[in-house]
Structure 1
Amino acid sequence: MRPLIASIRLEHFRHNYELARRQHGGRALAVVKANAYGHGAVRCAQAVADIADGYAVACLEEALQLREAGLTLPILLLEGVFEPAELAEVERHGLWLVVQSQQQLDMLLASQPAKPYRVWLKMDSGMHRAGFFPQDYAAAYQRLAESGKVDGIVKMTHFARADEPALSATAQQMETFDAACAGLPGEISVANSAAIMVHERTRRDWGRPGIMLYGATPLPAGYEQGAALKPVMRLTSRVFGVRELAAGEPVGYGATFVTERPTRVGLIACGYADGYPRLASTGSPVAIDGVRSRIIGRVSMDMITVDLTDLPAAGIGSEVELWGDSVHVNEVAAQAGTIAYELLCNVKRAHFVYC
C-alpha cells in the first residue's frame, strides 16, 4: 500500500484541549468543524468526551455526525441554521445554535419549539463578516429574550486580527462589544485560539479554541505562547526511488531546480493530490529518518523529490516526515505562503492511524 500515513496522536489532542481550557479559564468548546481540521471529527471528539465542556461545528450535518457516534455533550452550530426545517433537528438533538442574521432570527421567532433553544447571539464588532451590528444588537437580544423560545442567550463575537498581537484591532473590537452588551445579562464567548493565547481581556465565560487544539499556533513567528502545544498530526511517507544526478541537471516539472553539485535525489509518495501544497516546492523542509533536509524541484500530483545528498545512510524505505515533530506544519505553510489550517484540512489519500 502507498506509504503515506497521517498519524493522529489523540493524547496530544487531549493535552492541547486541557492547555487551552486552563489558559482561558471558565469553559471551552472544542472546535471540531471541518472534520476536526482534517484530523477526524468523531475520533477527536471522542478523545476529549470525558473532559470537554462541549463541541463547536460549522453546520447541522457535522453535528449529526457526532450525535450518530453517540456523543452527548453540547454541540454549537457556529453558522446556525440555513433553513427553518433544520430547527426541528436542532431541537431533536439538543443542539445549541448561533443566530447571526435577521433571517436566522426571524426563522427562530416563527418556529414553535416544544422546548426552548439555547442561542448564541453574534455581534459584528468589526470583522464585518457576520453578526448583528452593535447598534442593532440589543434589539435583537430583547426580541429573543422576550420570545419565550430561548432558555439562555450567550453573547458572542469573533475577532478579525487576534493573530496579530501587536495591533490594537482586537482591543477595539472588545471595547465595541462590551459597550453594545452593557446591561444585557448572560454569558459571553469571544476568544478564539489566538485570543486565548495572547489577549487576556478576551477570556470570558466560554472559549472557542480551534487551531491550537491541533498543535499549530495561529501567532506569527517569534511568539513563544504556542511552545507547549503538541502537534496532533504527523504526516509521513517513504522514499521509494533514488536517482544520482551530476551537477547541472534539472529536477522535475519545469526544470525549476537545477543541481549545483552531484546530487542524490529521493522520490517519495506524496503530492498535491494528497494535500501537500504545490507552492511549497524547492526549499520546503522535510525530515528524512529524523534528519532535516529539503524538497527540490516542483511538488507534483503524486510525488515529491527530496535532497538525500548529505544523508548517505538514507535510501529506499527511509521515512520522510512532511510535518509533525521535526518539521512544524507552520514552517511548511509559511514556505507555501498559506496557513497551517489549510494544510491540515486538505490532507487526503493518506492512511489515517489513530494512536
Structure 2
Amino acid sequence: MSRPLNADIDLDALRHNYRLARGLAPHSRTLAVLKADGYGHGAIACARALDGLAPAFAVASLEEAASLRMAGITTPIVLMEGIFEASELGDVEALNLWMAVHSDWQVEALLAYRPAHPIPVWLKVDSGMHRLGFAPHRAEAVWARLAAASAQACDLHLMSHFATADAMEPGYFHQQMAVLSKLAERLDAPLCLANSPATLAWPQAYGAWNRPGVMLYGSDPLEASNATSRQLRPVMTLRSAIIAVQTLAAGEPVGYGGRWKAPRPSRIAVVAGGYGDGYDRHAADGTPVLVAGRRAALVGKVSMDMLTVDITDIPEADIGSEVVLWGRAATGEVLSVDEVARHCDTISYTLLTGVLPRVPRRYHGGAD
C-alpha cells in the first residue's frame, strides 16, 4: 500500500475558473498564467486542459516555456519577465514566444538582434509597484523606439502590475490606473493589466488582455470576497488519511516541544503529511482540516512527514479515514486553501506552489 498523501487536481474546476475569468471581461482576451509549474498544479497538464480555451499562456522564464513546447503545447506563450540574458533571444525566436521588456538592456539586446520574423513585445511600465518596468515618463520614448524597429518587434502592448488590487482600500489602485490610462491614451496602446484581483473586482482594468493567475486555481485573492470570487472552485485537494490514533489523558503533550497539551481526554489522529511534503511548518494549533468530511483542528507542531489532529469530537474517525488538508472532501465539504494559509500566517500562493514533488499529482476531468 502506498503512502496515502496525494494532490488531486480537478481540471474541470480549472476550466470553470478560467471561464469565470473570461466571462467577466468578454471584450478582453484572457491569457492563463502557468508560472511556477501552474502554481504547483502541473503546468503541462493545466495547459492541455486549457488548450482551445485560452488564447495564450504566461510563464516566468524561458525554461518554463521550453517545457511546455517540449510537451507539444503550441499556444502562444508570454515571457512575463522577458529574457535574463541576450543569448536567450535565439530561443525566444525558435520557440515562437512573446516577451515582456522591462529594462534598457533588454531593449538594446532586442534591437541588436536580427530575427527572421519580428517578436511580439509587451512593454512593462512601473505604474507604482516599483519592482519591474520603465517609469511612465520614460515609457513613451522606449515605445517609440520599439515601434520604429519593425524588423525586431511587433504587436506592441503596454503591461503593468497592480500592488493593491486585492485591497479593500482602493486609493493606490486608482492612482496606478490613472497613470496607465493616460499613458495608453497618449500612445494609443493596447493594455494588459488585470491580474486575478483586478479581474475579479476592477472592470476598469480590463484591457486588450487580462492575465488571471491564482484565481484560475480556485484561490480567492481578495481581502474581502465578492459574489464572483465565491464562485471559484478549488482545483487542488491535498488529501491524506489517518495512519495512527493516540488516546491521551488530559495534560499530555503532542509533538515536538509539547506545544499543545490535551485540555481533556483526547483522541489524536496521526496523518501522513508534513513539511517534507510542503505543508507549512508554521501552521498554528487550530489550523482547520477535514476528517471524514468534518472540520477538525491541527494540534502540535507539524513534523517532516506527519501532522497531528484532534479527533475527539469525531468518534467515527479511525485509521484510514480521509483527511483533507485543503480542497474538497469526498463528502463535498470544502476547506479553502486561503483559510489554511491565514492560520499559517502566509498566502495561498506559498502553500500551492510549495507542494513538493514527492506528493503525487492525480489528475481528474481530462479534456472538454
TM-score by length of 2: 0.95
Structure 2 match to 1:62: 64
Q: Deviations over 1:263-320 (max 9, x none)?
A: 0000011001111111113100000010110101111111100011011111110110
Question: Could you say which residue in structure 2 is the equivalent of 1:350?
Answer: 359
Q: Deviations over 1:156-212 (max 9, x none)?
A: 111011110323111110101122233313321110000011111101110000000
Alignment of 1:22 onto 2:23 = yes
Q: Distance in 2 between matches of 1:224 and 1:246?
A: 45
Q: Pick from 346, 349, 362: which aligns with 1:338?
A: 346
Aligned residue for 2:331? Answer: none
Deviation, structure 1 residue 81: 0.3
Q: How does 1:26-105 map to 2 (within 5 A)?
A: 26-105=28-107
- The answer to whether residue 210 in structure 2 is matched with residue 207 in structure 1 is yes
Output the CA distance in 1 between the equivalents of 2:154 and 2:89. 15
Listed as ranges, the gaps of 5+ residues in structure 2 are: 329-333
The answer to whether the 8 A contact 1:10-1:44 is kept is: yes
Contact 2:338 2:347 in 1 (8 A): yes
- CA deviation digits over 1:77-118, x for unaligned, max 9? 001001111111111111000001111111101111111010
* 2:184/2:190 contact within 8 Å kept: no
Contact preservation (8 Å) 1:165, 1:198: no
Question: What SS class does the counterpart of residue 265 from structure 1 fall into?
Answer: strand
d(CA) in 1 for partners of 2:301, 2:5: 18
**What is the aligned partner in structure 1 of residue 160 from structure 2?**
157
Instruction: Measure, in 2, the Cα distance between the counterparts of 1:254 and 1:240.
Output: 22
The more displaced of 81-90 and 180-189 is 180-189
The partner residue of 2:278 within 263, 275, 279 is 275
Aligned residues: 355
What CA distance in whole angstroms lies between the structure 2 residues aligned with 1:206 and 1:272?
38
Q: Could you list the per-position Cα deviations for residues 309-351 of structure 1 after superposition, in whole angstroms to 9, with x for gaps in the alignment?
A: 0111111101100000221100110001110000000001211
* Corresponding position of 1:5: 6
Q: Quick one: distance in 1 between partners of 2:153 and 2:225?
A: 44
The answer on whether the counterparts of 1:138 and 1:181 sit within 8 Å (CA) in structure 2 is no
Q: Which runs of 4+ in 1 moved over 6 A?
A: none
The residue number in structure 2 matching 1:129 is: 131
How far apart in 2 are the matches of 1:186 and 1:99? Answer: 15
2:298 is aligned to 295
Instruction: Output the amino acid matched with 2:353.
Output: C
TM-superposed CA distance for 1:222, in Å, is 4.6
The 1-side partners of 2:215 and 2:225 are apart by 16
Distance 2:211 2:284 in 1: 34
Q: CA deviation at 1:220?
A: 1.5
Give the SS at the match of 1:18.
Answer: helix
Determine what percentage of the aligned residue pairs are the same residue: 48
Matches for 1:212-223 after TM superposition, within 5 Å: 212-223=215-226
